[in-house]
Amino acid sequence: MEAKENSSTKARVEILDHGWVELQDMLGSDTDIVCAARTSYLGENKGEDRDKKLLFSLMEHGHGAPFETAVFRFRLRAPVLVWWQLVRHRIASYDLQSGRYVQLQDDFYEPVLWRTDDGESLFGEVALDFDAKLAAYYDISRTLYQEALDEGISKELARLFLPGFAVYYIGVWTVNARSLMNFMKLRMDLHAQKEIRDYAWVIYEDFFKPNLPWTAEAFERYVLKLEEEL
Amino acid sequence: MEAKENSSTKARVEILDHGWVELQDMLGSDTDIVCAARTSYLGENKGEDRDKKLLFSLMEHGHGAPFETAVFRFRLRAPVLVWWQLVRHRIASYDLQSGRYVQLQDDFYEPVLWRTDDGESLFGEVALDFDAKLAAYYDISRTLYQEALDEGISKELARLFLPGFAVYYIGVWTVNARSLMNFMKLRMDLHAQKEIRDYAWVIYEDFFKPNLPWTAEAFERYVLKLEEEL
Amino acid sequence: MEAKENSSTKARVEILDHGWVELQDMLGSDTDIVCAARTSYLGENKGEDRDKKLLFSLMEHGHGAPFETAVFRFRLRAPVLVWWQLVRHRIASYDLQSGRYVQLQDDFYEPVLWRTDDGESLFGEVALDFDAKLAAYYDISRTLYQEALDEGISKELARLFLPGFAVYYIGVWTVNARSLMNFMKLRMDLHAQKEIRDYAWVIYEDFFKPNLPWTAEAFERYVLKLEEEL
Amino acid sequence: MEAKENSSTKARVEILDHGWVELQDMLGSDTDIVCAARTSYLGENKGEDRDKKLLFSLMEHGHGAPFETAVFRFRLRAPVLVWWQLVRHRIASYDLQSGRYVQLQDDFYEPVLWRTDDGESLFGEVALDFDAKLAAYYDISRTLYQEALDEGISKELARLFLPGFAVYYIGVWTVNARSLMNFMKLRMDLHAQKEIRDYAWVIYEDFFKPNLPWTAEAFERYVLKLEEEL
């Protein structure tokens, strides 16, 4: 359980222009995962070396069940763009801010760089031009949303006047380590959209790795296969 | 299996201004549900009367497992407003259009009536005014989205220029009858947002009820409790 | 988080003749559940009275999602009779002892009372007679299982010589509070088999209630409806 | 939908000494899977060659969602030995015969060969000896179970007198193609217990392959990697 005491619990990591991730709390450690796996054999934990070796072997052979005994509870703020993809991960629990009951905040997401479909960045005049256009579009949206609310239009309809994909929502995400590794594998990948990739990497580097260091090392070796790519 | 042959498969029902639902295909019937339930007792189906009675008793006592043997596969077109709530139902399968790989269509959702938070409708000048404002906002959005695409900005970022909650997406939704009843219970309710309520009622009246008539009758009696409310 | 420090973590409660339940660790508290629910409204926790009132209202109206943020990890020893029903609860994680890789223990389950299908108990000669018959049957089983193993028959086949439903298995069970309440509702019920009912009540009284006291109180009122029955 | 009409629906395949599998009904076809995948791109089906190529690419890159649109409903009879492992697959629906409400049948499973832990078979005297011992043990069990029932002991307790792992249960199993492929990958493997392997292979060869031939071919190539092993 030591990992837990050293954990980054409650520390907030900023992402994008107005987003962040916090680890509210977590259940379990590398040792607990090994302990759950040893249940099959009624075995006891056997010292650091053999425990770590067993954990690596679980990851290598795709024995996912023991990793379900570790559970993370994150609180995060992300644009709909990111949540839209995140909530599709079904083996997890979500408690999300409501756009029907709360006025949405108007600090919409503005990308630092404009990317093409090939992942190139636009620079110069064109980029500056679209920065300005986005800022203006967001201003119009803010005004219209507020006007609609002021005239008594429901929050659930007023949000039609919003740049929906750019609106930040706050939510609590409770997810076990197995399902989280599936998320990270897919969303840390270069083919994932940059915005969710940023969240996936922060979750991995700042929260997953410090709390489950052996699992992270095995995940890099057998799932991400980082070594092979060097 | 007769229900299946008479089923509304492939017929499309229009919803909202540009949405629709189709039942692509389905698995199972009321009789199959009874048959699955009788497995517990190794019983055979016993004629219509006793079969129907058993099905009603399953619903009354919350024995949900047999209802999982019937599965619907819908294809539907709905604004993000609706999908945003729909995809939160985790016991189901989703294949959804991608806004990263396909240009989104610009027939954004326009409500017929502007509602207040209390569910009242706005009429007269104010309503007409916001109709006009929404149309204008959608025009600006269309122009900006297209400009961004024309300049080579990726589809995944260009959509920041869209009224996200109003954009229509097409998706395939595969869901068993138990999970679907949970969806319908929550989303046919008066507290649900009107837009998703429209989808829930169409799904119920046009697809669920004709294909699982006994289940629908029992659902009305024991879950919706429609009779009590009269 | 105070609840956690006072929790019965690691204390073992004995059940049946050779079974037990331990709470290895848990995530979350009543306050965390309220906090997750308040995310919808971006609200802060508001003092004990209003927090408790909100939690009761969640339970009353069937808003289950916030209860998924609390997760229990039990380690338990139970006869197959009990596990056979327990593993059917699919929204949970299981790490179970293997009968293929470990020799099964021979302290088979012996009921204290012989029940009839109506739940009456048998007494006198008949009961004593079956106690003796069961003991003898278990002795034969022990001998045959051991003989089979001694002759080199695999553990996975030798167990055909065992009274399978009476064999104790150890397992780790990780389950969130929402899914656990569903389990307890079904298995604390008088219609559940007495053996699993014993586990369900211990889990409720010794682990669930001390760790989530508000949730337990609301569960009794709105789900078990204990008050109404008085 | 042609696959469906040619399908082996209702044909029963015998397994082990007293077990069998039937495909009661199914939803979907290879073409439906391709169609669901094309939803992402709003594409239409494009003729057999390009459809098959797309399906292979989904399998190669682990895009599992479209395979969830095909659903099988099996009815099967298997010993507890097999069910014990089968019900651990949580993404599926189960309606299983009850040992509390129905008298269990006494045609217990008898293996054709006695295997060692290394997978070798025992022959000669020893094997014959254990065949006889098993037959005798089963006879004792039959007698005791019947005596217990005759004296009024409940079915749920009388089964303590049974060789639990050898008792056959009938159940309905509704499972989508993605989850089924996960089952088949694990249980067709040489490391799986022979008894469940027999079920997995029948399910694959007799039901999965004829109904989803492209999916089966891709599954062999990218998941089972059968070619590589030659």
Query: How far, in Å, are B69, D6, D160, D209, D215 from residue D29 at the CA level?
Result: 18, 12, 44, 11, 9
Task: Considering only the beta carbons, identify the residue of C154, C160, C162 that sits closest to D116.
Answer: C154
Range A126-158 burial, b when 16+ CB lie within 10 A, else e? ebeebeebbeebbebbbebbeebbeeebbbbbb
Contacts of D34 (CB under 8 A, 6+ apart): D45, D51, D52, D54, D55, D66
Average pLDDT over chain A reads: 93
Residue by residue, what is the 3-state secondary structure of A131-197?
HHHHHHHHHHHHHHHHHHHHCCCCHHHHHHHCCHHHCEEEEEEEEEHHHHHHHHHHHCCCCCCHHHH
Name the most confidently modeled range: A41-50, A117-126, D38-47, D220-229: A117-126
Task: Considering only the beta carbons, identify the residue of B39, B96, B101 that sits closest to D96.
Answer: B39
Average pLDDT over chain C reads: 93
Running along chain B, 230 residues long, what does each successive block of 10 average in pLDDT? Answer: 42 96 97 94 83 96 96 98 97 96 96 95 96 98 98 98 98 98 97 97 98 98 78
Q: What is the pLDDT of residue A44?
A: 76
Question: Chain C: nearest CA to D161, how far in angstroms?
Answer: 6
How far from the centroid of its chain's Cα atoms is residue B188's Cα? 10
Among chain B residues, CA nearest to D92: B68
Is A36 in contact with A215 (CB distance < 8 Å)? no
Element containing residue C23 per DSSP (H, E): strand C19-27
Q: What is the pLDDT of residue D226?
A: 80
List of chain B residues whose C-beta atoms are within 8 Å of the C-beta of residue A106: none
User: Is residue C200 within 8 angstroms of chain D, CB to CB?
Assistant: no
What are the CB-based long-range contacts (under 8 Å, 24+) for C52-61? C52/C214, C55/C30, C55/C214, C55/C215, C55/C218, C56/C214, C56/C217, C56/C218, C56/C221, C56/C222, C58/C33, C58/C218, C59/C215, C59/C218, C59/C219, C59/C221, C59/C222, C59/C223, C60/C218, C60/C221, C60/C222
Judged by CB atoms closer than 8 Å, whether chains meet at D93 and B69 is answered as: yes
Judged by CB atoms closer than 8 Å, whether chains meet at A172 and C96 is answered as: no
CA distance A91 to B91: 9
Please tell me which residue in D178, D187, D197, D221 is annotated as part of the active site.
D187
Domain locations in chain D as residue ranges = 2-98+168-229, 114-165
Element containing residue C140 per DSSP (H, E): helix C124-150
Q: State chain D's maximal CA–CA distance in angstroms.
A: 68
What number is the average pLDDT over the span A187-207?
97
What number is the average pLDDT over the span C137-163?
98
Which of A114-123, B4-13, B199-208, D213-222 comes out lowest in average pLDDT?
A: B4-13
Is residue C148 helix, strand or coil?
Answer: helix
Task: Considering only the beta carbons, identify the residue of D93, D95, D98 that sits closest to B176.
Answer: D93
Q: Count the helices and strands in chain D (H runs, E runs).
A: 11, 7
Task: Give strand ranges (E) for C60-214.
Answer: 71-79, 93-96, 114-115, 121-122, 168-176
Task: Considering only the beta carbons, identify the residue of D40, D71, D94 that sits closest to B71.
Answer: D71
- Compute chain A's Rg from CA coordinates: 21
Neighbours of chain D (3+ CB pairs under 8 A): B, C
What DSSP assignment string belongs to A12-73? EEEETTTEEEEEEEEE--HHHHHHHHHGGGTPPP--HHHHHHHHHHHHHTT--GGGGG-EEE
**Residue whose token pair is 């690419």:** D57
Task: Considering only the beta carbons, identify the residue of C27, C73, C96 that sits closest to A73.
Answer: C27
Is D10 in contact with D18 (CB distance < 8 Å)? no
Among chain A residues, CA nearest to C101: A41
In sequence order, the β-bridge partners of residue C13 are C21
Is B69 in contact with B32 (CB distance < 8 Å)? yes
Which tokens in the block code for residue D33? 């899977």
Query: Higher pLDDT residue, B94 or D40?
Result: B94
Q: Would you place residue C228 in the very low, low, confident or very high pLDDT band (cuts 50, 70, 90)? A: low
> What DSSP designation does D61 have?
T
Contacts of B145 (CB under 8 A, 6+ apart): B104, B106, B158, B159, B161, B162
Kindly report the backbone phi and psi dihedral angles of residue D16, in degrees, each rounded to the nearest multiple of 5, phi listed first: 55, -160
What DSSP assignment string belongs to D111-172? -SSEE-TTS-EE-HHHHHHHHHHHHHHHHHHHHHHHHHHHTT--HHHHGGGS-GGG-EEEEE
Give the Cβ contact number of residue B24 at 10 Å. Answer: 20
CA distance D230 to D226: 7
Measuring CA to CA, which residue among B215, B228, B223 is closest to residue B69?
B215
A160-171 pLDDT, tens digit each: 999 999 999 999
What fold does the segment set C2-98+168-229 form as a domain? Gyrase A; domain 2 (3.30.1360)
Average pLDDT over chain D reads: 93
User: Is residue D69 within 8 angstroms of chain B, CB to CB?
Assistant: yes
User: Is residue A73 within 8 angstroms of chain C, CB to CB?
Assistant: yes
CA distance B208 to B7: 10
Q: What is the pLDDT of residue D10?
A: 53
Q: What is the pLDDT of residue D72?
A: 98
Which tokens in the block code for residue D128? 């014959």
Neighbours of chain B (3+ CB pairs under 8 A): A, D
Domain A114-165 is in which class? Answer: mainly alpha
D151-203 pLDDT, tens digit each: 999 999 999 999 999 999 999 999 999 999 999 999 999 999 999 999 999 99
Which tokens in the block code for residue A50? 């053999």
Q: Would you place residue A114 in the very low, low, confident or very high pLDDT band (cuts 50, 70, 90)? A: very high
To the nearest 10 degrees (0 to 180), the angle between helices C48-60 and C30-38 is 80
* Pairing assessment for the beta strands B114-115 and B121-122 based on DSSP bridges: antiparallel
Question: Chain D: nearest CA to B107, how far in angstroms?
Answer: 16
- C4 pLDDT higher than 50: no
Q: What is the pLDDT of residue A10?
A: 53
The dotted CATH code for A2-98+169-229 is 3.30.1360.170
D134-150 pLDDT, tens digit each: 999 999 999 999 999 99
How far from the centroid of its chain's Cα atoms is residue B86's Cα? 7
Contacts of A205 (CB under 8 A, 6+ apart): none
Please tell me which residue in C142, C178, C187, C221 is annotated as part of the active site.
C187
Measuring CA to CA, which residue among B152, B21, B137, B15 is closest to residue A164?
B137
Q: What is the pLDDT of residue B5?
A: 43
Is residue D16 helix, strand or coil?
Answer: coil
Active site (annotated) includes residue A187: yes
CA distance A127 to A114: 6
Q: How many CB pairs under 8 A join B and D?
A: 100
**Residue whose token pair is 């009912």:** C197
CA distance D205 to D197: 12
User: Is residue C211 within 8 angstroms of chain D, CB to CB?
Assistant: no
CA distance B40 to C88: 14
pTM of the model as a whole: 0.94
Question: Chain B: nearest CA to D166, how far in angstroms?
Answer: 18
User: Is residue A45 within 8 angstroms of chain B, CB to CB?
Assistant: no
Is residue C10 helix, strand or coil?
Answer: coil
Q: How many CB pairs under 8 A join A and C?
A: 100
| Chain B interface disruption, residue of A153, A186, A187, most B CBs within 10 A | A153
Q: What is the pLDDT of residue D43?
A: 81
Judged by CB atoms closer than 8 Å, whether chains meet at B164 and A167 is answered as: yes
CA distance D225 to D230: 10
Among chain D residues, CA nearest to C121: D153
Contacts of A86 (CB under 8 A, 6+ apart): A78, A173, A183, A196, A199
Q: Would you place residue D8 in the very low, low, confident or very high pLDDT band (cuts 50, 70, 90)? A: very low
Judged by CB atoms closer than 8 Å, whether chains meet at B41 and D101 is answered as: yes
Question: Chain A: nearest CA to C131, how far in angstroms?
Answer: 30
Measuring CA to CA, which residue among D28, D25, D34, D78 is closest to residue D56?
D34
In sequence order, the β-bridge partners of residue D96 are D171
Task: Considering only the beta carbons, identify the residue of A152, A163, A193 that sits closest to B161.
Answer: A163
What number is the average pLDDT over the span C59-84?
97
User: Is residue C166 within 8 angstroms of chain D, CB to CB?
Assistant: yes
Judged by CB atoms closer than 8 Å, whether chains meet at A115 and B161 is answered as: no
Measuring CA to CA, which residue among C160, C145, C172, D82 is closest to residue A40?
C172
Among chain C residues, CA nearest to A68: C93
User: Is residue D89 within 8 angstroms of chain B, CB to CB?
Assistant: no
Q: What is the pLDDT of residue C10?
A: 53
Task: Considering only the beta carbons, identify the residue of D122, D151, D160 that sits closest to C134.
Answer: D160
Task: Considering only the beta carbons, identify the residue of A32, A40, A101 that sits closest to C41.
Answer: A101
Judged by CB atoms closer than 8 Å, whether chains meet at B95 and D66 is answered as: yes
Element containing residue A101 per DSSP (H, E): none
Query: How far, in Å, are A80, A108, A136 from residue B145 at the CA level?
Result: 17, 16, 14
List of chain C residues whose C-beta atoms are within 8 Å of the C-beta of residue A24: 32
Judged by CB atoms closer than 8 Å, whether chains meet at B159 and A144 is answered as: no
Question: Chain C: nearest CA to A53, how far in angstroms?
Answer: 19
Which tokens in the block code for residue A57? 């072997």
The amino acid that residue A71 corresponds to is: V
CA distance D64 to B218: 35
List of chain A residues whose C-beta atoms are within 8 Å of the C-beta of residue B96: 88
CA distance D204 to D202: 5
List of chain A residues whose C-beta atoms are within 8 Å of the C-beta of residue C36: 95, 172
- D4 pLDDT higher than 50: no
Measuring CA to CA, which residue among D187, D226, D181 is closest to residue D33?
D181
- C29 pLDDT higher than 80: yes
The HSE-up count of residue D76 (CA atoms within 13 Å, CB side) is 27
List of chain C residues whose C-beta atoms are within 8 Å of the C-beta of residue D116: 152-154
D77-121 pLDDT, tens digit each: 999 999 999 999 999 999 999 999 999 999 999 999 999 999 999
Contacts of A42 (CB under 8 A, 6+ apart): C97, C102, C170
Question: Chain D: nearest CA to C19, how far in angstroms?
Answer: 16
- A228 pLDDT higher than 80: no
Q: What is the pLDDT of residue B214?
A: 98
- CB within 8 Å of chain A, chain C residues 106-165: none
Give the Cβ contact number of residue A179 at 10 Å. Answer: 18
List of chain A residues whose C-beta atoms are within 8 Å of the C-beta of residue B163: 160-164
List of chain A residues whose C-beta atoms are within 8 Å of the C-beta of residue C76: none
List of chain B residues whose C-beta atoms are within 8 Å of the C-beta of residue D25: 1, 27-28, 32
